[in-house]
Amino acid sequence: MARLTLTDIRKSYGGTEVLRGIDLTVADGEFLSLVGASGCGKSTLLRIISGLESPDAGKIALDGRDVGSATPKERGVAMVFQDYALYPHMSVAQNMAMPLIMARLPMYARLPGARWLTPNHRGTRSGVAAQVERVARQLRIDHLLDRRPAQLSGGQRQRVALGRALVRDPSLFLMDEPLSNLDAKLRVEVRREIVELHRASGLTFVYVTHDQTEAMTMSDRVALLRDGRLLQVAAPGTLYADPASVEVARFVGTPEISLLPAVAEPGGLRIGTVLAPCAHGLTSGRDVIVGLRPEALAPVGMPALQSPGGRGPRLRLELAVEAVEDLGAEVVIHARLRDFPDLAVRMRSQKTLERTGPVPLPDHLTAEAPLSALLMFDAEGQRLRDPAPVQMAGAQ
């Protein structure tokens, strides 16, 4: 295992600043995902951690040891790439054995004629084969060791790439979007296998992805990057329920969070023509942004869809329906505020157990959300955690 510490990492290409002062610590045995849109700097950061690229400034430490000038081999890291990078003319066993042979045998000993002159050549090869077989059994590809990459499915090739990295017994495991070439069903399967591999190995994993579902379902913590900056580092549930900014709230969650401009008043928050009766402690007249997750809102008076749960005061909105996505067990409703058509609202509602077919929706409907579900941000998009909206005495 390894503890990774990054301090003020910066990187530019020409006049473009790609990483702008990254500070990040990954604990021993932790699974941390770097997530963000294309071009945010996550792959560049991974390559800097591996030693394939050098930062313009900053410090990289493994277990407290500065490795900024160390080679990838000296860092003891293993990396799995997006395109597998398997040798097509070699068998699975040979592909997996290559890192060990490169590390344990001198260059001349790898040549067909000279290898027999190397002391303990046979013992080294035997040890390599045993280690390859052990890892192959762990990944359930031991029956594929004699095949070549062209004879394998995408999922099998990905397991071989994982195995080739794992045989080295690395202290730090780096993965750069390893599932992007797989179809949706296979991604779910391999995703589960990577999580099981992490639990079984106890290694430190740093995983790069643009897919928030991968990041949220696999990781102990998620580091969200945008334009070369870390926006928030937190456990997946915290990132979703307690976003630090509008940018984080927008990125995490499907469908996207609804963001509605509001004004603080003595009696609550005014959203359009609606007053949400909550005590907030904000200066009257202050502009804020109210965030509502799609599942926090639910249509009122529709037996086919589950009603809003819980008790307490609620925000009630009148909506004009624009589109409906029927996903089988649930529906996603895209709408706009009836009195303010520029403001979009999204809802995700579960169908009742008795309902299996399509759910007809009117052009206009009323939706409710508990006030406790409101997320508040200031006009610049930063989270307002204190004061938080709470029930006012006598509110209905």
284 CB neighbour count, 10 Å cutoff: 9
Query: What is the average pLDDT score of the chain?
Result: 87
271 CB neighbour count, 10 Å cutoff: 21
Mean pLDDT of 244-254: 94
Given this model, what pLDDT does residue 1 score? Answer: 61
pLDDT grade for 186, boundaries at 50, 70 and 90 = confident
Given this model, what pLDDT does residue 392 score? Answer: 47
Helix (H, G, I), strand (E, B) or coil at 217: helix
And the tokens for 148?
Answer: 């070549």
And the tokens for 254?
Answer: 């499907």
User: Domain 4-246's class?
Assistant: alpha beta
Given this model, what pLDDT does residue 20 score? Answer: 96
Percent of the residues in the chain that have a pLDDT greater than 90, as a whole number = 53
Looking at per-residue pLDDT, the higher value among 168 and 293 belongs to 293
pLDDT, one tens digit per residue, over 46-59 is 999 999 999 999 99
The answer to whether 246 touches 291, Cβ cutoff 8 Å, is: yes
Looking at per-residue pLDDT, the higher value among 391 and 3 belongs to 3
Residue ranges per structural domain of the chain: 4-246, 258-391
Given this model, what pLDDT does residue 105 score? Answer: 60
pLDDT, one tens digit per residue, over 6-21 is 999 999 998 899 999 9
What is the 8-class DSSP label of residue 328?
A: S
Question: Cα(218)–Cα(212) distance, rounded to whole angstroms?
Answer: 10
Question: Cα(294)–Cα(335) distance, rounded to whole angstroms?
Answer: 11
- pTM, two decimal places: 0.86
Task: Say if residue 161's pLDDT is above 50.
Answer: yes
What is the residue whose two structure tokens read 């990944």?
Answer: 139
Alpha helices in 178-256 (DSSP H): 184-201, 212-218, 236-241, 246-251
pLDDT, one tens digit per residue, over 322-333 is 999 988 888 999
Task: Say if residue 158's pLDDT is above 90.
Answer: no
Question: Cα(38)–Cα(183) distance, rounded to whole angstroms?
Answer: 19
The answer to whether 224 touches 251, Cβ cutoff 8 Å, is: yes
pLDDT, one tens digit per residue, over 76-100 is 898 888 888 899 999 999 999 888 8
Mean pLDDT of 137-155: 91
Task: Say if residue 354's pLDDT is above 80.
Answer: no
Looking at per-residue pLDDT, the higher value among 94 and 304 belongs to 94
Alpha helices in 55-114 (DSSP H): 72-75, 92-104
Given this model, what pLDDT does residue 8 score? Answer: 97
Task: Say if residue 23's pLDDT is above 90.
Answer: yes
Question: Cα(166)–Cα(132) distance, rounded to whole angstroms?
Answer: 9
And the tokens for 338?
Answer: 């009836």
In sequence order, what are the residues at sequence separation of 6 or more whose Cβ sits closer than 8 angstroms to the Cβ of residue 211? 35, 179, 180
What is the residue whose two structure tokens read 């904000």?
Answer: 282
Given this model, what pLDDT does residue 352 score? Answer: 80
203 CB neighbour count, 10 Å cutoff: 22
What is the 8-class DSSP label of residue 307?
A: P
Q: What are phi and psi of 137, to 5 degrees?
A: -65, -40
Bridge partners, residue 7, by sequence: 59
Task: Say if residue 387's pLDDT is above 60.
Answer: no
Given this model, what pLDDT does residue 395 score? Answer: 45
Task: Say if residue 110's pLDDT is above 60.
Answer: no
The answer to whether 359 touches 368, Cβ cutoff 8 Å, is: no
Given this model, what pLDDT does residue 168 score? Answer: 83
Given this model, what pLDDT does residue 396 score? Answer: 41
Q: What are phi and psi of 269, to 5 degrees?
A: -115, 125
Task: Say if residue 281's pLDDT is above 90.
Answer: no
Assigned CATH topology for domain 258-391: OB fold (Dihydrolipoamide Acetyltransferase, E2P) (2.40.50)
Task: Say if residue 104's pLDDT is above 70.
Answer: no
Bridge partners, residue 319, by sequence: 337, 365
